[in-house]
Amino acid sequence: MIESLNSLLLRHILTNDANSLLLFGNTGDGVLFSMTEKIKFIEIAKEITEKKVPMLVGIYGNQVDNIIDQIENIGKKFIDLNFMISPPISEKKSTDSIRSYFENILGSVNPKNQIYLINDPLQFAGNEIESELLQNLMEFTNLKGLNDSFYNIKKCRSYIQLLNKNFSVICALEENFQTFFQLIPLNQRKYSGIVSSISNLGNMCSKLYRYALEDNILELLKIQEHINDIRSKIYEIKSNEIREKIGLKYAFLHLYKDLISNIKNDIYHIDEILETQIDPISKERIEATVNYLLNQKQIYQLYFVSKKDLYRFDEIINMFSKIDVLVKQGKVKKIKGPYIVDINTLYRVKFENNQLVFRFRTSQSYQFENSIKEKLLYPFLDKTLNPNDIELRQKVKEVLNRRSGTYLFTKENPPIIPVCNLIYYDETKEIIPYMFSVQDYIRGKPLFQLINQYINDGKNLSTKKFLDLFSNLGDHLGHLHEIKFNCFYKKIDNIGKKMKISYIDLLENEFEEKLQMAKKNKIDFTDEIKAFFKDNKVLIEDETEYVLLHNNFKSQNIIVKEELGTIKINGIVDFDKWYIGSRAQEFIKIDYWILKPLNNPSFYSSFYGTYSKFYTIDSDFKKKIELYKLFWLLDEYNFESELIRKSDQMNIIRTPSTVLENYLFEIKAIIR
């Protein structure tokens, strides 16, 4: 948990213009890390920074020997580290004792280990590093600076007098940054610095530092006011814990909620704690503040393709700057996402001239052809490829061999159903380590969102516009199935080949495999399922008509837009599972996921009624749909059972699965 989240945090901090890192600071959880955890974290930081960014390591304690041991152990393992040490942390000491404490440490550690002191009496048992004491300690050449919260900003002047190229003074109290810099002569500000908690989130403090070096007083004041405002919105929560720490954690988790949801087991405990420590009003305020800072570019967000692949905004632009068709879209203005779906990670990118969807194949368990499947689909949709062409196999091979390119429809030759242009695709994995495609953004929302919105608002679904919608769905599906082949192809790579196995033999083999797996997964009525298949397989034994199937025809892949009293289907998306097979197979998911839950006979009539204008829908065809649905349900049951088994092996707590019960119920309903 710590490793993955802190790795993300470090990358984020560096992206937001930090020029050095303080590891194990005194305001967060730094004092709680064990030596093993510290070493692991430093290794992560070294790897992420490629050893190019200066690092300060916080060391805290009460015993001189313990502090020396920590510095020596870490210093031997990592060169070029700086250390920040505090006075004794839990017992009030005299000035002489504090002097002796520091003298023993500074005089005993390797002189190559540069040491900074941290002065925070409120946190360290009232122990204070007075300016006179500090001046005496400067005889040690490895003492390089002081980090002070400067609650009493007037005392800051005495420390500033010690500033020089070999000794830095650092301010750690965010509301005093602007005053701190203005107390320092301009020519000495380059020897000063600031340590900011809010910089864990945004880049405001790095900008403030640059304005201080330029002596731009107006901007310095403006940013300080802005930092104070942001701090109040992020930190002001009802908690007995350190508000700064809790508020920042929640802000960071909100900022990267999509990425962190992929490692949900990692953050379960943190989420649980934050749920009890932050009230709902504070949560809303923090979320709104983070969104505002993103829009104002006061947070530079990292974009990810997978957990391991994180990119800055400028890196994404540079990656695609050599692709002509993308350069023609103009400058990148905004990136929204990521949106995580079954096998892809998606981003919506707003260019000057267009909005596009970037789709990265990130699934490690993709079960279908390892290619951008639209590149072969689209030529069939606008009839550039003809299923009856005697040279079909050769033309298919030519398309499959193209590892990158584009496919744009024309007004003269539009697709047979509404789909988006394939602006660009790349299977080479040379730009990024994943196949990806870039498609037009289709305006609208998935059909299920519209239906849910109507249900939640208590609106009537049984209106003419919904009947027309389902009629249009039947029409589009009918047109898609007009693309006919004389053979089935479970893999599109094989289109044009002569298949060595018959369709019924293929299905019988698949059925036996699914049934054996179901038996292993404790379905106790496999004999009845087998009997049902035997009694009904005659329906598919003489199958001779094969069509192009979307094979994932459900509501989230149907993009609609409601306007002027109608619901228009603007596009059909996600053809990652398309292949050539029996028409009846297409009806499984739209029936199971859309029509059946709505339980409205009029929708059935509209959908099937329009589709029947293309092909006959008789009792045998409906029975065939049930037979294919049985195949699919067995697949889903086995898949869910495997997930439960893996969860049990990994000791992951899962809620009891009602999904399995639903699948069993549906299977029993079919075979009866």
Cis status of the peptide bond prior to 338, with omega within 30 of 0: yes
Over residues 559-586, the pLDDT tens digits come to 999 998 899 999 999 999 999 999 999 9
What percentage of the chain reaches a pLDDT higher than 90?
A: 66
The confidence band for 281, taking pLDDT boundaries of 50, 70 and 90, is confident
* Residue 275, pLDDT score: 57
* Residue 649, pLDDT score: 58
By C-alpha distance, which of 569, 545, 603 is closest to 450?
569
Angle at 406 between CA 400 and CA 410, to 5 degrees: 115
Least confident segment among 50-64, 246-260, 318-332: 246-260
Over residues 168-180, the pLDDT tens digits come to 999 998 999 999 9
The count of C-alpha atoms lying within 13 angstroms of the C-alpha of 103, restricted to the half-sphere facing its C-beta, is: 11
- d(CA 587, CA 608) in angstroms, rounded, equals 10
- Which residue has tokens 């689909």? 377
Q: Which helix (H) or strand (E) holds 229?
A: helix 217-235
**Rounded to 10 degrees, what is the CA torsion of 555, 558, 560, 565?**
-60
Top-confidence residue, 244 or 222: 222
Report domain 445-671's class.
alpha beta
* The one-letter amino acid at 79: I
For 309-314, which contacts have Cβ atoms below 8 Å and span 24 or more sequence positions? 309/432, 309/433, 309/434, 310/8, 310/11, 312/15
- d(CA 59, CA 629) in angstroms, rounded, equals 63
| 141-145, 245-249, 363-367, 638-642: which is most confident | 141-145
Least confident segment among 16-30, 82-96, 407-421, 553-567: 16-30
Q: What are phi and psi of 579, to 5 degrees?
A: -160, -175
By C-alpha distance, which of 439, 446, 444, 409 is closest to 425?
439
Please check whether residue 552 is in contact with residue 576, taking contact to mean a CB–CB distance below 8 angstroms: yes
- What is the SS3 assignment for 167-190? EEEEECCHHHHHHHHHHCCHHHHH
- d(CA 422, CA 358) in angstroms, rounded, equals 10
The whole-chain average pLDDT of the chain stands at 89
* The one-letter amino acid at 442: I
- What is the SS3 assignment for 252-311? HHHHCHHHHHCCHHHHHHHHHHHHHHCCHHHHHHHHHHHHHHHHCCCCCCCEEEECCEEE
The confidence band for 474, taking pLDDT boundaries of 50, 70 and 90, is very high
Please determine, for residue 190, whether its predicted confidence score (pLDDT) is greater than 90.
yes
- Tokens encoding 167: 């000794």
* Residue 555, pLDDT score: 93
Please determine, for residue 634, whether its predicted confidence score (pLDDT) is greater than 70.
yes
End-to-end Cα spacing for the chain: 49
Least confident segment among 228-242, 264-278, 574-588: 264-278
Counting runs of H as helices and runs of E as strands, what totals does the chain give? 27, 21
DSSP string, 354-392: -EEEEEEE--S---S-SS-THHHHHHHHTTSS-TT-TTH
- Tokens encoding 537: 């397989």
Q: What topology does CATH give the domain 1-148?
A: TIM Barrel (3.20.20)
- d(CA 562, CA 70) in angstroms, rounded, equals 65
- d(CA 370, CA 362) in angstroms, rounded, equals 11
